[in-house]
Amino acid sequence: MPRPVAKATGPALSPPDALWGIDLGGTKIEGAIVDATDPNTAVHRVRLATEADRGYEHIIGRIRAVVESLERASGLERAAVIGVGTPGAVEPSTGTIKNSNTVCLNRRRLGADLDAALGVGTRLANDANCFALAEATLGAARGRCVVLGLILGTGVGSGIIIDGKVVHGLHGIAGEWGHNPMRGESTPCYCGRLGCVETVIAGPALERHYREWGMVTATLPEIARRADGGDPNAIVTIERLVDKFGEAIAAVINILDPDAIVIGGGVGQTARLYASETRQAIVRHLFNPELRTEILRPALGASAGVFGAALLAR
């Protein structure tokens, strides 16, 4: 499948055919208009720095600026509904953001405030949900019924897609496997608990493990290269990733039993995660003698977040 191509200008779309999406990240905000009849391509795309250090109201203004830029670029009136991917989750009972590492968003009614600032409706979803929706609809897991989209990077999270729809859950935390506890682990997590999956297989955790074993600092891609070159401390670190990932994701598979898992984020680029040894590490903890679930690399790259946000507006 061809990768999405950003275009400065594009064909005129009628409003029903134009899906508008916003990917709100900690460092940048990306907006895109996607053709609903051909959603593999962003017809218009805009990026601005988030400038989160300037506070919540400033972020609202930056999102409004992205939407206004899309209007100018496209010549369209803004859509009646805009999809927004956010860090953190929406608490269904209050509409407030929680668990966001962009901390000024927490306890704020972002959806309602965006509705007021933009003059249109918004549909919010966690950024991992947007990644999973895009990969399940347009990307590597297209055509599969139950899809788990993992984010393995500086943090650990996931989105669950069933029959093309995001599963949010009663508390809005569906897919938060990064804060399940791991056996024998006790590293403090920012969430206040000990030994969460995120403290074991997120990028910073693996880099810390390598540093503690060998007293040498390196990024995870460099550690993977050193493991291939025979560095014993790097080998131990990557083996830890494989073993702990197998244990952690098997618990999710035992409950969800997905057709496909797509791994995004920086840690997800580690080749060993797609090797037979990782599948064997999963089976050791699986309530089944074999693993038929596909484990896939993402097809949409950095475009997945904004494409998934646009698909929320369908």
User: What is the amino acid identity at position 71?
Assistant: E
Residue 61's contacts (CB-CB under 8 Å, 6 or more residues apart) are 117
pLDDT digits (tens, 9 = 90+) for 66-76: 999 999 999 99
pLDDT digits (tens, 9 = 90+) for 254-300: 999 999 999 999 999 999 999 999 999 999 999 999 999 999 999 99
pLDDT digits (tens, 9 = 90+) for 101-123: 899 999 999 999 999 999 999 99
Q: Where is average pLDDT lowest: 10-14, 36-40, 118-122, 220-224?
A: 10-14
d(CA 150, CA 130): 11
Instruction: List, in sequence order, every beta strand (DSSP E) within the chain.
Output: 18-24, 28-35, 42-49, 81-86, 89-90, 97-98, 121-126, 146-152, 156-162, 165-166, 260-264, 294-296
Give just the sign of the alpha carbon dihedral 163, 165, 41, 262: negative
pLDDT at 160 over 80: yes
The residue extents of the domains of the chain are: 15-132+302-311, 143-298
Contact call for residues 34 and 99 (beta carbons, < 8 A):
no
Residue 287's contacts (CB-CB under 8 Å, 6 or more residues apart) are 254
pLDDT (0 to 100) of residue 1: 40
Confidence category of residue 12, pLDDT binned at 50, 70, 90: low
Residue 220: how many CA atoms within 13 Å on its side-chain side?
A: 24
Please give the CATH number for the structural domain made up of 15-132+302-311: 3.30.420.40
pLDDT (0 to 100) of residue 280: 98
Please give the CATH number for the structural domain made up of 143-298: 3.30.420.40
Confidence category of residue 15, pLDDT binned at 50, 70, 90: low
Domains 15-132+302-311 and 143-298 share a fold: yes
Q: Locate tokens 């134009």: which residue?
A: 18
Cα-to-chain-centroid distance, residue 57: 24
Average pLDDT, the chain: 92
